[in-house]
Amino acid sequence: MSRPIRARIDLAALRHNFAVARRYAGTTRLFSVVKANAYGHGLLPCAQALAGLTDGYALLDLADAVALREAGIRQPILLLEGYFDAEELPILAEYGITPALHRADQLEEIELAGLPRRLDVFLKVNSGMNRLGFTGDALTAAVRRATASPAFADVTLMTHFADADGPRGVAWQLDRFHTMLPCWAGPVSLANSAALLRYPETRGDWARPGIMLYGGSPFADIPAEQLELKPVMTLASQIIGVQEIGPGERVGYGGTFTADRPTRVGIVACGYADGYPRHAGTGAPILVDGRRTRLLGRVSMDMLACDLTGLPDSGVGSPVTLWGEGLSADDVATAAGTISYELFCALARRVPVDFVDGEAGGRGGRETD
Ligand SMILES: *Cc1c(COP(=O)(O)O)cnc(C)c1O
């Protein structure tokens, strides 16, 4: 038998979460954000699971966009960071892939490229995130150029919110967006998951939900469950060793946990080289035999320790859930001082992945959507 760690990706849960996004979106079209290998969940299986539902896909790598086309995906595909080199332009044209343009020289480059067909483009507006995009007069000029030049087909304006999940909200950025573009009557794309869930006024023509599709809550103070989102990735392993230690004994590198009573320590085949966050320390939640207990000490490269003192029936071979079904990745992420996005994306290549669809996952109960 191989090392017992596995990730299970529940494609029915992905579709369920998409349906939640659809409910919030109303008639707004949805780009399913599948960047970073679908947030670590597997690009092609996830894209295909959504193929009958989504209006488009958004990602970063041209090679991934081409892979979607070659897998038969027909919907619009948006490159969120645009293209990087003029050599890519003929490929964008050939495969009908839409770049987000964020610099004036890109408009010129496309005009000079002599492409066999007009490109649909998104123009990125910098409304306050201050990463990519046009502002002020450069924006006005870019919009004028893109809408006038025969090199371009449909033009959509997009922006991205810096604090849709936080206290600052989106109003200040929406104000800037509308002030910079008082006369724009064409399509807009504004909302990520947090904005889609929290601010209906940001729905626009195209929304771009990512994390919510994978069952992560974009909000620190609202559990995914409360948003009716289901976990898609479950990272599971087993207890492979047990130590009974007395008071004063320590656990793991640096001995950061010291037992203050007789303690049963379970050793789990999962470490930071599997993608488990090393910064989760003593107290981070973990499920053993479906019961919640806590991490003990430091996470090693290939192992971590948990507290079995209150779980006398658990031992070698007991199933362990690191996150997913029954234990929100958001809770584990919080304990490690990060966000579920990072946990998902960090899932290591060495972890075998099983894709399941509803009942095949052994979860009982039919999916209703
Ligand atoms: C990643 C990304 C999204 C999706 O954000 P979530 O918080 O995962 O919903 C949307 N738009 C842009 C530009 C992005 O980079």
Give the domain CATH number at 261: 2.40.37.10
Q: Where does the pLDDT of residue 359 fall: very low under 50, low under 70, confident under 90, or very high at 90 and above?
A: low
Q: What is the mean predicted confidence (pLDDT) over 40-57? A: 98
Question: Do 194 and 275 belong to one domain?
Answer: no
The percent of residues above 70 in pLDDT, for the chain, comes to 97
Domain boundary among 158, 190, 217: 217
How far is residue 325 from each of residues 108, 299, 306, 309, measured CA to CA in Å? 49, 22, 18, 23
Q: How far apart (Å, rounded) are the C-alpha atoms in residues 315 and 239?
A: 6
Q: What is the mean predicted confidence (pLDDT) over 115-121? A: 97
Burial class (CB in 10 A: 0-12, 13-18, 19+), 2: exposed
Centroid of ligand 1 to alpha carbon of 213 (angstroms): 11
Is 329 domain-assigned?
yes
Domain boundary among 217, 244, 278: 217
> What is the model's pLDDT at position 363?
42
Q: How far apart (Å, rounded) are the C-alpha atoms in residues 336 and 86?
A: 41
Question: Do 284 and 212 belong to one domain?
Answer: no
Is 275 domain-assigned?
yes
Q: How far apart (Å, rounded) are the C-alpha atoms in residues 293 and 307?
A: 6
Task: State the closest ligand 1 atom to the C-alpha of 158, by its place in the atom list counted from 1.
Answer: 13
Q: Where does the pLDDT of residue 263 fall: very low under 50, low under 70, confident under 90, or very high at 90 and above?
A: very high
Pocket test for ligand 1, best of 17, 24, 33, 341 (most atoms within 8 A of CB): 33
Centroid of ligand 1 to alpha carbon of 234 (angstroms): 22
Is 1 domain-assigned?
no
Task: State the closest ligand 1 atom to the C-alpha of 341, by its place in the atom list counted from 1.
Answer: 8
Question: Do 168 and 192 belong to one domain?
Answer: yes
Q: Where does the pLDDT of residue 244 fall: very low under 50, low under 70, confident under 90, or very high at 90 and above?
A: very high
Centroid of ligand 1 to alpha carbon of 267 (angstroms): 36
- Say if strands 6-10 and 353-356 run parallel, antiparallel, or are unpaired: parallel
Q: What is the mean predicted confidence (pLDDT) over 333-341? A: 97
List residues with catalytic annotation.
Answer: 35, 253
Centroid of ligand 1 to alpha carbon of 207 (angstroms): 9
Q: What is the mean predicted confidence (pLDDT) over 89-105? A: 98
Domain boundary among 217, 244, 264: 217
Question: Do 33 and 163 belong to one domain?
Answer: yes
Q: What is the mean predicted confidence (pLDDT) over 110-138? A: 97
Q: Where does the pLDDT of residue 364 fall: very low under 50, low under 70, confident under 90, or very high at 90 and above?
A: very low
Number of domains in the chain: 2
Give the Cβ contact number of residue 200 at 10 Å.
13
Question: Do 146 and 286 belong to one domain?
Answer: no
Question: Do 210 and 257 belong to one domain?
Answer: no
- Say if strands 29-33 and 206-207 run parallel, antiparallel, or are unpaired: parallel
Task: State the closest ligand 1 atom to the C-alpha of 164, by its place in the atom list counted from 1.
Answer: 7
| Residue 100 scores a pLDDT above 60 | yes
Question: Do 76 and 208 belong to one domain?
Answer: yes
> What is the model's pLDDT at position 358?
76
CATH number assigned to the domain comprising residue 87: 3.20.20.10
Residues in the ligand 1 pocket, defined by CB under 6 Å: 33, 35, 80, 160, 192-194, 208-211, 218
| Residue 101 scores a pLDDT above 60 | yes
Mean pLDDT of the chain: 96
Residues constituting the chain: 369
Q: What is the pLDDT of residues 191-239, one digit of tens each?
A: 999 999 999 999 999 999 999 999 999 999 999 999 999 999 999 999 9
Is 226 domain-assigned?
no
> What is the model's pLDDT at position 253?
96
Question: Do 171 and 282 belong to one domain?
Answer: no
The closest residue, in CA terms, to atom 15 on ligand 1 is 80
Model-level pTM? Answer: 0.95
Q: What is the pLDDT of residues 66-79, one digit of tens each?
A: 999 999 999 999 99
The closest residue, in CA terms, to atom 3 on ligand 1 is 192
| Contact criterion met (CB below 8 Å) for 70 and 44 | no
Question: Do 176 and 249 belong to one domain?
Answer: no
Is 4 domain-assigned?
no
> What is the model's pLDDT at position 1?
72
Question: Do 135 and 255 belong to one domain?
Answer: no
Residue 83: domain span? 11-217
Question: Do 247 and 137 belong to one domain?
Answer: no
Pocket test for ligand 1, best of 24, 122, 192 (most atoms within 8 A of CB): 192
| Residue 255 scores a pLDDT above 80 | yes
Task: State the closest ligand 1 atom to the C-alpha of 35, by its place in the atom list counted from 1.
Answer: 1
Task: State the closest ligand 1 atom to the C-alpha of 212, by its place in the atom list counted from 1.
Answer: 9
Centroid of ligand 1 to alpha carbon of 34 (angstroms): 9
Centroid of ligand 1 to alpha carbon of 192 (angstroms): 5
The percent of residues above 90 in pLDDT, for the chain, comes to 96
Question: Do 171 and 80 belong to one domain?
Answer: yes
Q: What is the pLDDT of residues 277-329, one digit of tens each?
A: 999 999 999 999 999 999 999 999 999 999 999 999 999 999 999 999 999 99
146 CB-near residues (< 8 Å, 6+ apart): 101, 107, 121, 123, 152, 155
Is 251 domain-assigned?
yes
| Residue 62 scores a pLDDT above 80 | yes
